[in-house]
Amino acid sequence: MADLPSDKQRQQERDQARTAPPDQGVGRFDVQPQHLYFTSLVVRDGQFDYDKQAKALTDTLDKYSQSAGTGWGADSFADRYGIVAGKFLELWAKSVVAVGGVAVGLTQTANNYVQADWAASKGKGEPPEEKQPPMVITTAPKYGPPNDLTWRGEGEYHDSWAISGILGEIPDFLMFIMKPVVDEGLRLGRIHEITPGVKEEEFRDIAGAWREASKDVKKAADDFTDAISYITDPTGNGEWQAAMRAFCQTIWGTTAWGKVRDQRAEVTPKKGARSWKTHGKMDPATRRPIIEVLDKSANVIQKLFDDLADVGQKTTETTTRLAKEAAEKTVKDLTTGLDPFELTKLAVGLVVAEVVLTFRSHMDKAAMDAAVEAYHEAFSDAAGKLAMLEFELDEALLSVPTFQAERARAQGFGARSLNEFKKEHSWQLPESQFPYTYSVDLAAAEGMGNGHTLDKHVGKTDEQLLQRMRDESKADGTPKIPGASTFADMESAQRYTQYALRDNTDEINKWLSGNPPKPTEEFNTPSVPLQGPLAGDAVTGRGTSLVDGKITEVQDTKGVSLRLMYDPSLDPPYVVFSSMPK
């Protein structure tokens, strides 16, 4: 992959592409290719900013390791944090890639439009310059895993927090014996279980980084919506606005078949739970589940780190106070009634083991043990709260759209915007339709009559196909649909759909000759020949189906299935309602 552009290069590109807004100086809202080129660069820059924000988080996280200290509670917290933070960073990385698909798709749509426009003019004038799609991040960045916070070492931290502050009032001539006495006395109790303790300042710094991450993900989503709004007519066209809202939801994980799910990612009828379903009437800011999951997770993690830093501080204060009181009482027992000469003699003759017994007799063991147990429990409870985040993080990781899915959706939204979302067949491809009876530009047809090829059947992962079967199921778990399939990308969707449409010309003619035609009709092409000199059938995509009540494994497909919907207001009188591999 070529080097990505610098900040300076990106700014220069954006300045050169800047143009008057679609509603300025033309008397109406008129989106032209230059508006898509500019928006493409704005989205590209948003992707780079989104990536930088993730790196700002990891820069802080990478500064620290072993910060949780020791203890079974701290160990369980550190282990669970590593898992949850790793999933969080993976989700962020995948969503960065999806944004890049939008930037590329908008430029490709603009290129197709200007080339088609030139071809329609029969090549008059110089051929238009085809702009290179912007260089974007196309593979998930490696943000994680975060450093392990589990305590693994010995040395300078071993007794620092347990001894600190305890010996402050001890006479100098007894210091040489009281330090090992306190050290050994504490080792014989439970305090050694949490020695060393949590590094409070490091935990607070980590918490601050997560707090900023929460703000950053929401800003990235807001910036994306603003960029797409630039090429959306704000008044008078409900379909255009609904398409914009849907587009700005799908990039953050919604689907046409998404469900309302609770914090365990289980389907629920309860109001206020998270919805994963695309809804064109909803403000994108209220329905962007991936951003919501990232935001919620960051806030929970931030609070846990702050709270555990407070627990560490409180525990240190409690155990230090108890040990200090015991040390002072021990010194008092050893020195009461002795003159200076006897004190000196005492210091020489003391036996550590005997003094330890005295020290421990003055220790409030119950209070000390209670403080240690509360410390363990606080970290263990925090680990449990982290574990609760995994359900939604896993659902979000499953739902994040691919680069190819968002590239296709962007081409669909861009093409419809260039034609002002008019209900008419529009041809924005540079290739000729001659001599075929039927042709389709999938991007320009997306959404018309609820056509959904690009939204539902392009760029899905194998796991997302199975997710769809899961989501479109009855209460008993049996899918309500016969299968789910996907084209690999926009180009294969266009090519194989075009082939199937033309392959079924006679059947389509027969359907349209009905009086009246059936409202919808399905046309199947069992195979598509490979392009070029190679013989054989092409792999049209990937799919799964319901066979004898069971969902099959996802496998390669060789055919194409078209569903056309009759619409007498169009010429030809139908819309491509869906096209899918089969």
Which whole number is the average pLDDT over 29-47? 97
pLDDT one-digit tens code per residue, 466-503? 999 999 999 899 999 999 999 999 999 999 999 999 99
Which of 194, 137, 549, 178 has its CA nearest to residue 370? 194
- Classified as helix, coil or strand, 326 is helix
Pairwise pLDDT comparison (505 vs 430), residue with the higher score:
505
Q: Does a cis peptide bond (omega within 30 degrees of 0) precede residue 145?
A: yes
Nearby residues of 399 by Cβ (< 8 Å), 6 or more positions away: 253, 254, 255, 258, 276, 289, 290, 464, 467
Pairwise pLDDT comparison (40 vs 170), residue with the higher score:
40
pLDDT at 186 exceeding the cut of 70: no
Mean residue pLDDT of the chain comes to 91
HSE toward the beta carbon, residue 549, CA cutoff 13 A = 2
pLDDT of residue 341: 52
In terms of C-beta density within 10 A (0-12 exposed, 13-18 middle, 19 or more buried), how is residue 14 classed? Answer: middle
pLDDT at 161 exceeding the cut of 60: no
The C-alpha atoms of residue 319 and residue 221 are separated, in whole angstroms, by: 46
Which whole number is the average pLDDT over 362-369? 83
pLDDT at 343 exceeding the cut of 60: no
pLDDT of residue 155: 40
Pairwise pLDDT comparison (507 vs 342), residue with the higher score:
507
Which whole number is the average pLDDT over 175-195? 71
pLDDT at 243 exceeding the cut of 80: yes
Q: Are 485 and 582 in contact (CB under 8 A)?
A: yes
The C-alpha atoms of residue 579 and residue 582 are separated, in whole angstroms, by: 9
Instruction: With cut-offs at 50, 70 and 90, classify the pLDDT of residue 320.
Output: confident
Which of 391, 376, 377, 503 has its CA nearest to residue 439? 503
pLDDT of residue 432: 87
Q: Which of 16-25, 127-136, 174-183, 534-543 has the lowest mean pLDDT?
A: 174-183
pLDDT at 360 exceeding the cut of 90: no
Question: How big is the chain, counted in residues?
Answer: 582
- Classified as helix, coil or strand, 180 is helix
pLDDT at 171 exceeding the cut of 80: no
pLDDT at 338 exceeding the cut of 60: no
DSSP of 451-505: --HHHHHBS--HHHHHHHHHHTB-TTS-BSSSEEEEBSSHHHHHHHHHHHHHHTH
pLDDT one-digit tens code per residue, 516-531? 999 999 999 999 999 8
pLDDT of residue 37: 97
The C-alpha atoms of residue 356 and residue 350 are separated, in whole angstroms, by: 11
pLDDT at 154 exceeding the cut of 60: no
Pairwise pLDDT comparison (569 vs 2), residue with the higher score:
569
Beta strands in 169-247 (DSSP E): none
Report residue 524: phi and psi, to 5°: -120, 135
pLDDT of residue 159: 47
pLDDT at 1 exceeding the cut of 90: no
Token pair 């749509």 is found at 109
Which of 456, 541, 460, 465 has its CA nearest to residue 496? 541
pLDDT at 165 exceeding the cut of 70: no
pLDDT at 160 exceeding the cut of 50: no
Instruction: Give me the helices (H) in 62-152, please.
Output: 72-120
Instruction: With cut-offs at 50, 70 and 90, classify the pLDDT of residue 27.
Output: confident
Instruction: State what percent of residues in the chain have pLDDT above 70.
Output: 90
The C-alpha atoms of residue 114 and residue 380 are separated, in whole angstroms, by: 61
Instruction: State what percent of residues in the chain have pLDDT above 90.
Output: 76
